[in-house]
Structure 1
Amino acid sequence: MEFRTVAELVELAETEGLSISEVMIRKEMETSQKSREEIFGLMEENLSTMEKAIEKGLNEEIRSQSGLSGGDARKIRQHMKKAKVLLSGAEVLEAVSRSMSVSEVNASMGTIVATPTAGACGILPGCVFTAAERLNSDRETMVRALFVSGAIGYCIANNAFISGAAGGCQAEVGSATAMSAAAVVEMAGGPPSQSAEAVAIALKNMLGLVCDPVAGLVEAPCVKRNAMGGAIAMVAADMAMAGVKSVIPTDEVIEAMFRIGRDMPPRLKETALGGLAATPTGRSLERKIFGNLEE
């Protein structure tokens, strides 16, 4: 079960007549020498942790110590109850609220699962739990979705970046969005090739996204980028399942992300020296939280 690229992953799955999740499960069994039951059980624990983070963010009054984040996921939920919501289908806003919820829990020092990083932790659970609600998925299908995301994350990490410090926010939120889109496609019964198309469509819309955390904290604009990542992932999944294909192959999109990240100046890669972090308000908030850093 060896693969390093998305093309190799899809070819392996199609040749063996397997789903992407099954390929990844078998790869984990070979690599870790653990049983299927052990591997599946560990991933189910991750799913439970995600679920708890969603519920905490949506049902409790949480606020980060800095005061930069907290409570916005609940605002989205309240907005959804109004008659004049612009999006007629609730699923996208459900994914948005859940994605924000987990990200806000992370900012308030709660327990989350890094998927693939803490800064992008909300997107996958937001999409998986929303898709499960829409599709009436069982727990096994949801756990398998996490293996799909892991397989895609593995390919991205092998050929590009998954951290903002290395490749900008396109590497964190972008990778998480792509991983989530692929996972949702399999949950909906789409074949491996459509999961791959969803990866390309999602990641293309994140290329060039810089990592510019205000005051160096994973809060602003990170929480709202998790929200938008959840929305993009759901839309990308539907586009792929509709038969829409990326003009640029998936692995070439990943390669493009790598080149863009390599060319991105350091001030736009998690240093809080550029972008939104360097705005007058961003600097003012930094001083308010940490004091006068020049003294």
Structure 2
Amino acid sequence: MIKTAKALIELCREKDWKISDYVLEEESRGDEEKKAAILKELHHMLDIMKESTSRTLESGTNLNHDLIKDFGKKTWEYSKSGKKFVTDEKTLRAMARAFSTFESNAKMDVIVAAPTAGSCGIVPAALVTAAEDIDASDDELVEALLTSIGIGQFIAGYGTFAGSEGGCQAECGAASSMAAAALAQLYGGDVETCLNAASIAIVNILGLVCDPLGGLVQYPCTFRNASGVSNARVSADMALAGTYSIIPFDEVCKAMKEVGDAMPASLRETGIGGLAGTDTAKTLCGKIFGK
């Protein structure tokens, strides 16, 4: 497997490949039967993503506590209200879909951890909203998903996807980076554009701590899924516009690992510091856990 983004760019230029082409070839080792099996599984994952992004938009969550409750439904209804928005309808719908997928996880429904359950809403919401926007086919979405997988492999190679090791930057940051690269490819970007989008997304979220209330992967994680897909969309557009990260993708990933290692334990999914350590959080956790 290629170890650096520089080598990936060179290989893709030589072969006239997208990142998705490289990932599929690498994972299948050129075996056509295995390639077909991988694509079949990815189509299955895409179907789950589509379902999870819409699951709570109309019905709400019916969860028994108030850490997160009907955020997907509220945002979806707002996106269709006809009001003047601070952002735009497409971004609101992407955020609603990220909420829906995350709420599905909270309800113990089936989701795709992309790359983790705590960041599960970002990649699906990005892909489904893009499909609605540009009428992308399922085959094109699967190609974009392969690109996100390739970006994730680099991030994991340099660091971690675990919030307990690297903070939320390792979960929602990684997912946002993966989604940004996938979007850049879907909207016509070349390999370097995809890598710039991935880099920008990490730069925008570098240092994000993991501070869930009561150790539950719900709050503030739900907002970070919605903001994460927004970050992915913004980062992809920045890269497609021609802006770029002056720090190469490999070094950005290394920096994320170093920042994660430097975080105190209280800010790495222990439920002790940050928002989890506030008076309101402690009161809410007392009600939830009966303490």
Under a length normalisation based on structure 1, what TM-score does the superposition of the two structures give? 0.95
Give the root-mean-square deviation of aligned CA atoms: 1.5
Using the aligned pairs only, state the percent identity.
Answer: 39
Distance in 1, Cα, partners of 2:151 & 2:44: 20
**TM alignment of 1:5-154, pairs within 5 A:** 5-30=4-29, 35-87=34-86, 89-154=88-153
Query: CA distance change for structure 1 residues 182 and 278 in 2, over 3 Å: closer, same or farther?
Result: same
8 Å contact kept, 2:211–2:267: yes
Which residue is equivalent to 2:266? 267
Provide runs of 4+ in structure 1 moved above 4 Å: 31-34
Which residue is equivalent to 2:186? 187
Distance in 1, Cα, partners of 2:155 & 2:59: 35
Give, in angstroms, the shift of residue 149 of structure 1: 0.6
Distance in 1, Cα, partners of 2:160 & 2:191: 22
Distance in 2, Cα, partners of 1:39 & 1:5: 24
Quick one: which amino acid aligns to residue 153 of structure 2?
A: Y
Which residue is equivalent to 1:255? 254
Query: CA distance change for structure 1 residues 33 and 136 in 2, over 3 Å: closer, same or farther?
Result: closer
8 Å contact kept, 2:80–2:89: no
Uncovered stretches (5+) of structure 1, i.e. residues with no partner: none
SS in 1 for 2:272: coil
Quick one: which amino acid aligns to residue 82 of structure 1?
A: S
Which residue is equivalent to 1:170? 169
Distance in 2, Cα, partners of 1:214 & 1:116: 21
| Greater CA drift, 77-86 or 178-187 | 77-86
| Greater CA drift, 99-108 or 87-96 | 87-96
State the number of aligned residues: 291
2:200 is the alignment partner of 1:201: yes
Distance in 1, Cα, partners of 2:141 & 2:263: 36
Under a length normalisation based on structure 2, what TM-score does the superposition of the two structures give? 0.96
8 Å contact kept, 1:63–1:69: no
Distance in 1, Cα, partners of 2:180 & 2:260: 21
| Greater CA drift, 24-33 or 197-206 | 24-33
Quick one: which amino acid aligns to residue 273 of structure 1?
A: I
Query: CA distance change for structure 1 residues 223 and 88 in 2, over 3 Å: closer, same or farther?
Result: closer
Give, in angstroms, the shift of residue 100 of structure 1: 1.0
8 Å contact kept, 1:5–1:159: no
CA displacement 1:167-219 (0-9 Å, x = unmatched) = 00000000000000000111111101000000111100111100000011111
Uncovered stretches (5+) of structure 2, i.e. residues with no partner: none
Give, in angstroms, the shift of residue 61 of structure 1: 2.6
Give, in angstroms, the shift of residue 118 of structure 1: 0.3
